[in-house]
Homo-oligomer: A and B are copies of this chain.
Amino acid sequence: MKISKRTQDMPASAIRKLVPYSDAAAAQGIKVYHLNSGAPDIASPDCVKQALAQRCANFHHLSYTNSAGLLELRQGLIEKYYRKVGIELELPELIVEVAGSEAFSVAMEIATDPGDEIIVIEPFYTNYQTFAYLHNITLKAVHTGIHDDFRIPDISEFEKLLTPRTRAVLISNPCNPSGKLFDKEEMLAIGEFCRKNDLFLISDEVYREFTYTDAPHFSAMNLPGCEQNVILVDSVSKRYNLCGARVGCIASHNKDVMAAAVKFAQSRLCPPVLGQYAAIAALDTPDEYFAQVRQEYIRRRDFTVARLNAMEGVYSPMPYGAFYAMAELPVDDAEAFCKWLLTEFRVDGETTMMTPVRSFYKTPGEGINQVRIAYVLEVPEMEKALDILEEGLRAYPGRTI
């Protein structure tokens, strides 16, 4: 019995493939500091817990919902987009998805036929590559560099990648993994590029609230003249610390896009109803919640980046969005180093887990000595985790300094 070649050749998740090693370490009683995954330790809003407990105590059975999601949730999200992002959506222009993962997978399939191409900006969220593989899409990457603050290059770099098979540009803003926050001019340039070349612009904005400059986040949905191009991908995961709820959405003014999204939605019947209940309750989250969370992340970010740059041979630029710091390490191979930390290296029975980012780049050789560090723990925990990293760098056999 042979499994298919397409699944044999499918890339393993770079973020999750070290999990068996951290599980093994945990099973040995080792404490692992998880800086590898964008899973913060911050409490969900109180209003979510209360409403959810009430719904769960009183339900009769859990029925399927409308494939597009509960009406109450869709209406609430539309009201939220109007108030917070300044965009007006009709009811058929938004569908609830099984988190951001389903939303961008569906958006990619809607934009492309097998063999088509999507332009991404490297480093990019590695699962874009996984779904590109599954849907037979080629990603073409515009490069941004760690020593250049991940600045978006001139639009001519995008034009160089255009072929007759280019169908879309896919961005995450703020960017996972680089923490890059796109400014208005960059967004206008990308929007104009998509408009002029008849490309979809798939905009993954799940980190919209996590910005650390004074300029407001500029949503692709606000790009003038791009109403038919933009497909918004969103999620409650990071915003409300509800990663496990698996609820997100896709939104577009393009009627054909949404008609196609309905068919995908119906094929998997419905998004999880308990997660939808949580998302409905989360609509009532007070603004102070976000203000507090933002202050906390600024504290963690400032500590993390300063601590990283204080280590010999380490370079980490300041990120202005999301909750990731990229770091260049003095090691031969960051993946081997991350695995070694999990399997070999302990400080007082503890170790640190990070994500190697080679697979976040398309350009061969790029990112080989870089890691993504999610600053998702409180500062005292981050401190311990980064102390272990520094000691590990000194002890690692493959160190380059």
Which of under 10, 10 to 19, 20 to 34, or 35 or more describes the interface residues of A? 35 or more
Q: A5 touches which one: B1, B11, B42, B113 (CB < 8 A)?
A: B113
Q: Are A19 and B59 in contact (CB under 8 A)?
A: no
Contacts of A167 in B (CB 8 A): 4
Q: Which of A5-52 contact B (CB under 8 A)?
A: 5-8, 10-13, 15-17, 19, 23, 37, 39-44, 49, 52
Q: Are B62 and A267 in contact (CB under 8 A)?
A: no
User: Any chain B CB within 8 A of the CB of A116?
Assistant: yes
CB nearest to A23 among chain B residues: B66
Cα–Cα distance between A7 and B262 once the two chains are bound (Å): 10
Q: Which of A250-285 contact B (CB under 8 A)?
A: 254, 256-257, 260, 262-264, 266-275, 278
Q: Are B131 and A267 in contact (CB under 8 A)?
A: yes
Q: Are B6 and A114 in contact (CB under 8 A)?
A: yes
Cα–Cα distance between A43 and B60 once the two chains are bound (Å): 5
Q: Are A6 and B109 in contact (CB under 8 A)?
A: yes
Cα–Cα distance between A99 and B67 once the two chains are bound (Å): 14
Contacts of A49 in B (CB 8 A): 56-57, 59
Q: Which of A86-138 contact B (CB under 8 A)?
A: 98-99, 101-102, 105, 109-114, 116, 127, 130-131, 134
Q: Which of A239-247, A323-331, A378-386 contacts B (4 or more CB under 8 A)?
A: A239-247
Interface centre among A37, A43, A273 (most CB of B within 10 A): A273
Cα–Cα distance between A5 and B256 once the two chains are bound (Å): 11
Contacts of A63 in B (CB 8 A): 39, 243-244
Q: A116 touches which one: B4, B12, B60, B61 (CB < 8 A)?
A: B4
User: Any chain B CB within 8 A of the CB of A401?
Assistant: no
Contacts of A42 in B (CB 8 A): 61
0 or 1 for each of A223-234: is its CB under 8 Å from B? (1 = yes): 000001100000
Known contacts A4-B111, A254-B1: does B263 contact A244 (CB below 8 Å)? Answer: no
0 or 1 for each of A154-185: is its CB under 8 Å from B? (1 = yes): 00000000000001000000000000000000
Count copies of this chain in the complex: 2
User: Any chain B CB within 8 A of the CB of A64?
Assistant: yes
Cα–Cα distance between A3 and B256 once the two chains are bound (Å): 7
Known contacts A39-B63, A49-B57, A260-B8: does B268 contact A98 (CB below 8 Å)? Answer: yes
User: Any chain B CB within 8 A of the CB of A344?
Assistant: no
Q: A7-B263, A105-B268 are in contact. List 15 more A-B contacts (CB 8 A).
A: A1-B228, A1-B256, A10-B260, A19-B266, A41-B61, A44-B60, A53-B56, A61-B241, A62-B243, A63-B243, A65-B244, A102-B268, A127-B267, A244-B270, A245-B272
6 A-B pairs (CB sep. < 8 Å): A13-B266, A52-B56, A61-B241, A62-B242, A127-B267, A274-B278
State the A residues within 8 Å of B (CB). Answer: 1-8, 10-13, 15-17, 19, 23, 37, 39-44, 49, 52-53, 55-57, 59-67, 98-99, 101-102, 105, 109-114, 116, 127, 130-131, 134, 167, 198, 200, 228-229, 241-246, 254, 256-257, 260, 262-264, 266-275, 278
